[in-house]
Amino acid sequence: GAVVSQHPSRVICKSGTSVKIECRSLDFQATTMFWYRQFPKQSLMLMATSNEGSKATYEQGVEKDKFLINHASLTLSTLTVTSAHPEDSSFYICSASGWETYEQYFGPGTRLTVT
Amino acid sequence: GENVEQHPSTLSVQEGDSAVIKCTYSDSASNYFPWYKQELGKGPQLIIDIRSNVGEKKDQRIAVTLNKTAKHFSLHITETQPEDSAVYFCAALYQKVTFGTGTKLQVIP
């Protein structure tokens, strides 16, 4: 099956710093990648959708200048949380889908803790 | 936009029994309905999906049914095992995926 990796799996950073999370599709070309945020015991909330080579489309209420998304290749997307604050602490999950397919394959997630 | 409701929020079953999780959706244009299993601290894993032109799909102990008229779909797990314990999410897709609120399934040995 399709494999998506994320790095790092856990990260702790100080308030005011920036953190970059990588999402890679290992065995298929991901034309579209999605970034989700999940709070404890809650569902996944879509933050943004990115297509390779295009600017990301952000969901309502998600600050594009705070959550920078880059999808520079068919196998890599990055999410940078800029000037992180404790309220940004969450579980961030990416997913990827390929050519003309509905299926999304999820990465293992990144636990971000901002102190 | 799409709204997906999922019930129950928690479900406990004895090992070997069946488990059923139900979801309803609001947008009749939705045409793809995946189910995900999420274990603690991990990303969701696609376990089965169904498209709008199909009423039922089965994969070993897992089956999904879809009623487009009523706009609801269900996940059925038979002969449950302790390793089935996890949180299950349904989802509906039209242009983008909308997730249900999740069901925490506990299979008691």
What pLDDT shows up at residue B105? 98
CA angle, residues B50, B53, B57, in degrees to nearest 5: 35
Q: Which residue type occupies A11? A: V
The 10s digit of each residue's pLDDT in B41-100 is 999 999 999 998 889 999 999 999 999 999 999 999 999 999 999 999 999 998 788 999
**A93 interfacial to chain B (CB closer than 8 Å):** yes
Q: Output the 3-class SS for chain A.
A: CCCEEEECCEEEECCCCCEEEEEEECCCCCCEEEEEEECCCCCEEEEEEEECCCCCEECCCCCCCCEEEEEEECCEEEEEECCCCHHHCEEEEEEEECCCCCCCEECCCEEEEEC
What pLDDT shows up at residue B3? 92
The 10s digit of each residue's pLDDT in A58-88 is 999 999 999 999 988 889 999 999 999 999 9
CB pairs under 8 A between A and B: 44
**Confidence tier at A1 by pLDDT (50, 70, 90):** low
Average pLDDT, chain A: 93
**A80 interfacial to chain B (CB closer than 8 Å):** no
